[in-house]
Every structure is written in C-alpha cells, then in structure tokens.
Amino acid sequence: MHQPLTYIIYNSSVSSIIGYRPSSSVISYITFYLIATVHRTDMSLRQKIWNGTIPVRLVLAPNEARGFASPEYLFIACRVLYLPLYLEKALRYFRPYLNDPSKADSLNSWWFEFEGVPVRWNWPIGVNYDLLTGNDPVKTGEAEENIPWTLILHNKDYPKEYVLNLESIDSLWDNWLHQMKESCFVRDGNAKAVMNLSMDDTKQLLNGVKNHEFDTFWSIVTTRHLLPTSVTALKNIPVKLYLPVENRVVQGFVPPLSGEEEPNTVGSALHHHLPDLFPSRRTCILARPVLHGVMVPLTAPLGDLYLQGAYPDGYLHVTVVMI
C-alpha cells in the first residue's frame, strides 16, 4: 500500500477558487496553496472551492439598446454555478435600456458571447472562463486582461447549432439533474443514488445549488451518500476534458486504479484521452490541466482529486490550457 501523499497546487490569480480581493478599484492578485491529502476528504477545502468567484462585466449588445446607451451590469459569479442564474437580475437592470422592454420578461432567446464565441450556459461558469480566456495559472499576471470577465448579452440570432435552447430556468435544472444522474451512473455503475432521492431531497439539493448554500447542498450529498467517501468505493471517475480552440469537451471515465493496482493519475488519464496534447504522463510539455482556476500536477491521484474537487453535478471538469 502506498503511503499517504500530500501534493500542492499553487500560484493562482484572482480567478482562483479563493476568489478575489478589490483594493482601490484594482483587483489584487493572490497566491495560495491548495493542499489535499490522499485518503482524507476535507470539507474546508470543498468549501473554498464552492466559494470561488469571478468578477463579471455584462454588456448589453448595441442592437438591443435604445439610442446610444451602452449599459453594463457588474456582478460576482460563483465558479461552480451557471450564467442563467444571474440573468433574471441582469434583465431587470437592463429593462429600461432595451429597445423592446418586454424581452426582459423571459430568459428565452438570450445568450452570452465572449470575444465572438457563444458561451454555453449549461457549462459551469468557472469552466467557461478557464476555457475561453485560456489563462495559464502558472504565468503570473496573465489573468489581469480578463478581470472582470467581459461578456456581451444578445437576444437576436440565437446560435442554436452551438448553444442549447434556454426556454426558462427549468431548462437549467433539467439539464443539471441529467448530468447528476449521468455522473452517478459512471461512478457507481447505476444511478440509484440520485433516482432514489425523495422529492424533498431533490428540492433541497437544487436549492443548495440555486442559492449557493454549501451546507444545504452537502447535507444531502453526505446523508444520502451521493458521493463516496473513499477512492476504493469508486467504480469509475466521471471526467470531462475541455479543449481549447475547438471549444469542445471530451467525456470519459477513468478507473481509479491502473492494471497494476496503482492509482491512476491526472497525467495518465490525460495521456490516455489526449495523447497528442499530453505525450508525457508526468511533465506538461504542450498544455496544462486546470481545475477551479489552478494548475493540477500531472502526478496527482485522480481519485483523490475527484473526491475533493468534483463539481456539484458530480463531474470533474478539467480545462486544457495551452502553454
């Protein structure tokens, strides 16, 4: 049996899981050490991940605004949440500036853009930010250009071939529950843990995410055994790998142990699924894996990383950033 291992992820920016700290209207950068110990789940670490934020500047598209108005809506977005959760308040703010104020009454047809690329509302905000900005956490100061993260809000020409239709906020929850069941099936070999939830438990779980209430969400996860407490209980690790330039996702599952009964690492998983970008299992040559805004060591055991860093939907969302 291998000895318990401590690994360190370091040198992040304001986009990290710790969040941001404004000072005299200038966002200060911080350096932190994210320490995870193998064979131990740490709720304080999970809470730091849960509380990670990104400052967002939402600009109304010129063809949606009256006259020469160019209104902006500023807010702090939680990394593990989704953009539609902030859209209702944003539309209330933008209503007086809209060519057609009635469009603010519905979420339908509204979509987000970053530098000409539609933003997928069904992907977590932190994943979209890491992927679309391409910030390399190792390069100090690189994130400065994208803080706050500036998005354009559109209503016309919905990119249906690229972004799922968002009819209402119920579309978000239906999609999220589907992802939760899917990750549970990959992890356990069945989706019983989620399917057997009572209506009250499901409502509480959704409210925990909707209202960004850590204790509410994790009380259901722990008491209803929605997430194993040890790597040995994992059948497979549900992983999504997000690729730059192509802006697409590779969905896979990785057993926690290799054929030699050694823990599968981040490097071994990336080498298996993306050998062209990760020719080495131990050294980043062409690209780096980023999780919650920080670089992940290729030698980190994937199972332990999953238990600490899985998103609320039960997936480990890893963004690939080019060096």
Question: For the segment 202-238, what is each residue's pLDDT rounded down to a tens digit?
Answer: 999 999 999 999 999 999 999 999 999 899 999 999 9
Instruction: Mention every residue, 6+ apart, whose C-beta is less than 8 A from residue 211.
Output: none
Phi and psi at 23, nearest 5°, equal -145, 115
- Rounded mean pLDDT, 122-140: 93
pLDDT for 38: 40
Candidate from 16-25, 121-130, 271-280 with smallest mean pLDDT:
16-25
Confidence check: pLDDT of 295 > 80:
yes
> Confidence band (pLDDT; 50, 70, 90) for 252?
confident
Tokens coding 18: 């710790």
Instruction: Mention every residue, 6+ apart, whose C-beta is less than 8 A from residue 68.
Output: none
More confident residue, 152 or 33: 152
- Rounded mean pLDDT, 265-288: 96
Q: Where are the beta strands (DSSP E) in 95-216?
A: 111-114, 117-119, 149-154
pLDDT for 246: 79
Average pLDDT, the chain: 87
Q: Is residue 107 a contact partner of residue 82, using CB atoms and an 8 Å limit?
A: no
CA distance 308 to 41: 6
> What end-to-end distance do the CA atoms of the chain give, in Å?
35
**pLDDT tens digit sequence for 7-36:** 333 333 333 443 443 322 222 222 233 334
pTM for the whole structure: 0.88
CA distance 303 to 316: 10
Domain-wise residue ranges, the chain: 53-154, 169-223
CATH top class, domain 169-223: mainly alpha
- Rounded mean pLDDT, 108-126: 97
Confidence check: pLDDT of 140 > 80:
no
**pLDDT tens digit sequence for 156-191:** 999 999 999 999 999 999 999 999 999 999 999 999
pLDDT for 142: 67
CA distance 71 to 64: 11
More confident residue, 42 or 206: 206
Strands 21-23 and 26-28: antiparallel
Q: Is residue 264 a contact partner of residue 258, using CB atoms and an 8 Å limit?
A: yes
pLDDT for 225: 93
Handedness of CA 289, 76, 117, 91 (dihedral sign): positive
| DSSP per-residue letters across 4-33 | P-EEEEE---TTSTT--EEETTEEEP---E
Share above pLDDT 90 across residues of the chain, in percent, rounded to a whole number: 77
CA distance 236 to 257: 9
What is the CATH number that goes with domain 53-154?
3.10.20.620
